[in-house]
Amino acid sequence: MRIGIVHYHLRPGGVTSVITDGVRGLLTHWEDVSIRLITGSREDTDRVLRSIGAASDSRVEVRVHPQVGYHDQDAPLPDATRIEEIRRILTTEAGECDLLWVHNYHLGKNPAFTEALLRTIDDLPSRRFLLHIHDFPESGRYQNLASLHLVTRSPLYPTGPNVRYALINRRDLRILREAGIPADRLFLLENPYHPLPPPTLTDPRPVLLTRLAPHLSPATPLHLSPIRTIRRKNVLEGALLSRLLSPDALYAVSLPGTSQQETAYSELVEACYREGLIRGLFPLGPLAEQVGLPFPTTLHAADLLVSSSVQEGFGYLFIQALDVGKPLLARRLDILEGFEEIFTDYPAFLYSDVRIPASLVDTHLIPIPELAEAYRRKLRTITPLLPPSLGESLDAQLREEFESSAIDFSYLPVPAQKALLHLITETPHTLESIRTANATLLEQAAETLTRPLPPDTRDRLARFSLEAHLVTLARILESYTLPATPDPPHPEGIPDQVLHAFARKEYLRLLYDF
């Protein structure tokens, strides 16, 4: 069997990790399988081949088609000629592979590719396609969605018997099922997770602090967000929570943001550390490596793992907490649907929001009318993409947020978030007013995070093993041989249903626009 795996690029990142883990597992555990990696850029392909141990393995080949890569957002929209060019490429690849496994096919980073793929699926009903969705354009990526609307003419969610969908969490599975895609086309394919090596140091925190912060007591608590500093990670909220929970703790973030879209945010966070608005270490990963401590050691050294992220696809950090046996403080996200049971009796506290008194926001950070108008302007820019009822619903959700006595920190513009950190540094009574507004959260967190670890912590990771991943993939392949249910009667309505499911104020945060 030849499996063609398609992604825009193979640069380091979440999707590439899933691809490399999956390929490594297929080559190790399956017989008579060969892999063709189909990508839009030669960059990092050699590194990927080395990472899967396939640099000289004849069972793995790479094909680079620049037309499959990301489309330059500043370039003119692709025309019919470009779409047809990509369709011919995909037709050839689908004809030479037993399965075409396409990652993030409708992300909106290459609308011509999406349209070409949709046409290819329709043209080749006897060929098998697996559409693996990690990110939806409807989940706040409205610029991408607008690009798709301008270019695509085919139904965005094909439902023919030659198509299967792989979803990485139960929320996404539910959304597509409720939108009308037949259940036998939908599969939950959770990302595989590799447990970290056990700690090489008996007590790594004092060692880490002695090397990186020798002026501090080695008993200083360390709170860690083992993430890259990108906007949706909402890092400044994590810093605020850390200070509210333990004023003496250090708050560390593992990595800076490096992409063009994320550099400004990462630099602002770094400035907060430099200016003393955040007490901690940034970026901890590179700093630790410079003194001979690898990334896993930083996790083992932490007293608490923190996730203030407002959007995740899978949520590796949640699993990492179990892996290293560390308490977890995290924002409750809808991707945890069907996931939370792994934290039964575990020292994990999931919070809904961090409230900032509206009077404080209005007086010291940004006038509430100005904040509300900024959100109305953003809503107006996406209104053409939404049915009228959805626009009205979003407007009502935003009004409710800004008419309340306290505002969710994550809805503040990033400059206002930084200003708040400055304010609580200069005026301690401000920190106390925020502590009072979040008294219940802090009391419950303090109680939950001191629970003892249950004895079966590592056993709970079995569902995320590579073996479990491959078992599900085998079920997907078997499903193509079974009788398929009929197509839904009105597949053209599916995109609107998906859009409706994601049309919530959470995806309108100004945080995304910084």
> 240 is written with which tokens?
């605020």
Cα–Cα distance measured from residue 399 to residue 396, given in angstroms and rounded to the nearest whole number: 5
pLDDT band at residue 457 using 50, 70 and 90 as cut-offs:
confident
Cα–Cα distance measured from residue 332 to residue 310, given in angstroms and rounded to the nearest whole number: 9
- The single residue listed with the structure tokens 């200083």 is 220
The 10s digit of each residue's pLDDT in 376-390 is 999 998 888 888 888
Residue 483: DSSP 8-state: P
Closest listed residue to residue 87, CA positions, set 103, 59, 110, 56:
110
Cα–Cα distance measured from residue 157 to residue 164, given in angstroms and rounded to the nearest whole number: 11
The residues that bridge with 306 in the sheet, in sequence order, are 329
Cα–Cα distance measured from residue 15 to residue 133, given in angstroms and rounded to the nearest whole number: 10
CB atoms within 10 A of CB 341: 8
Closest listed residue to residue 220, CA positions, set 105, 282, 303:
303
For the ranges 273-277, 312-316, 420-424, 467-471, which has the lowest average pLDDT? 312-316
pLDDT at 73: 72
What's the gap between Cα 96 and its chain centre? 32
The percent of the chain in helix, strand and coil, each rounded to the nearest 5, is 50, 15, 35
Fill in the amino acid letter for 337.
E
Burial 105-119 (b: 16+ CB within 10 A, else e): bbbbbbbbbbbbbbb
- Over the chain, what is the mean pLDDT? 94
In the three-class reduction of DSSP (H, G, I as helix; E, B as strand; rest coil), residue 60 is classed as: strand
Q: What is the secondary structure of 357-402 as a DSSP string? A: EHHHIIIII--HHHHHHHHHHHHHHHGGGS-HHHHHHHHHHHHHHH
pLDDT at 258: 83
Cα–Cα distance measured from residue 189 to residue 469, given in angstroms and rounded to the nearest whole number: 6
Cα–Cα distance measured from residue 328 to residue 343, given in angstroms and rounded to the nearest whole number: 10
pLDDT band at residue 432 using 50, 70 and 90 as cut-offs:
very high
In the three-class reduction of DSSP (H, G, I as helix; E, B as strand; rest coil), residue 510 is classed as: helix
The 10s digit of each residue's pLDDT in 106-145 is 999 999 999 999 999 999 999 999 999 999 999 988 889 9
Cα–Cα distance measured from residue 169 to residue 189, given in angstroms and rounded to the nearest whole number: 8
Taking 80 as the threshold, does the pLDDT of residue 76 lie above it?
A: no
The 10s digit of each residue's pLDDT in 141-199 is 888 999 999 999 999 999 999 999 999 999 999 999 999 999 999 999 999 998 888 88
Taking 70 as the threshold, does the pLDDT of residue 254 lie above it?
A: yes
Fill in the amino acid letter for 70.
Y
User: Which domains are assigned to the chain?
Assistant: 2-192+465-491 (3.40.50.2000), 194-354+438-460 (3.40.50.2000), 355-434 (no CATH)
Of residues 94 and 457, more confidently modeled: 94
The 10s digit of each residue's pLDDT in 256-288 is 998 788 999 999 999 999 999 999 999 999 999
Q: Is 493 exposed, middle or buried (0-12, 13-18, 19+ CB in 10 A)?
A: middle
In the three-class reduction of DSSP (H, G, I as helix; E, B as strand; rest coil), residue 168 is classed as: coil
> 75 is written with which tokens?
């370039």
Summarize the confidence of residues 36-44 as an average pLDDT: 95
pLDDT at 55: 67
Cα–Cα distance measured from residue 390 to residue 301, given in angstroms and rounded to the nearest whole number: 46
Burial 364-373 (b: 16+ CB within 10 A, else e): ebbebeebbe
- Of all helices (H) and strands (E), which one includes residue 270? helix 263-274
pLDDT band at residue 445 using 50, 70 and 90 as cut-offs:
very high
From residue 22, how far is each of 44, 189, 309 by CA, in Å? Answer: 17, 11, 26
pLDDT at 11: 87
Q: What is the secondary structure of 305-349 as a DSSP string? A: EEE--S--SS-HHHHHHHHHT--EEEE--GGGTTTGGGGTTSSEE
To the nearest whole percent, how much of the chain has pLDDT over 90?
Answer: 83
Cα–Cα distance measured from residue 41 to residue 61, given in angstroms and rounded to the nearest whole number: 14
